[in-house]
Amino acid sequence: MSPAKKKYVPIDCGYLDIIEHYATLRQPVEISYLLDDAEVKLTAVIKTWENTGEAEYMILRNGLRIRLDHIVSIDNKVSSGYCRINEKND
């Protein structure tokens, strides 16, 4: 099942601190995330994050929204949410 169709799994609150840190810097950062069944890497500026009630999303300056439990890493800092996704698939 693709990650987009899975129920949202809240990420570790400490990882939100990492997202907020890079949003404050307003500098490009390498982001790796899951899109369908593939890992995508890009360099972008994190604008903010938001909670929609059903899931939480990182918002990039270019308007792209990435569900937080789909993030693999930001600046090579691996998301604990990514680990939980992989453990459930093993």
pLDDT tens for the 90 residues of the chain, in order:
455 568 888 888 889 899 999 999 999 999 999 998 899 999 999 999 999 989 999 999 999 999 999 999 999 999 875 444 344 433
Q: Which pLDDT does position 11 carry in this prediction?
A: 86
Q: Which pLDDT does position 23 carry in this prediction?
A: 95
* pTM of structure: 0.80
Decide if 82 contacts 11 (C-beta within 8 A).
no
**Domain locations in the chain as residue ranges:** 3-89
Domain made up of 3-89: CATH architecture: Roll (2.30)
Q: Which residues contact 44 (CB under 8 A, 6 or more apart)?
A: 28, 29, 31, 60, 61, 62, 64
Q: Which pLDDT does position 83 carry in this prediction?
A: 41
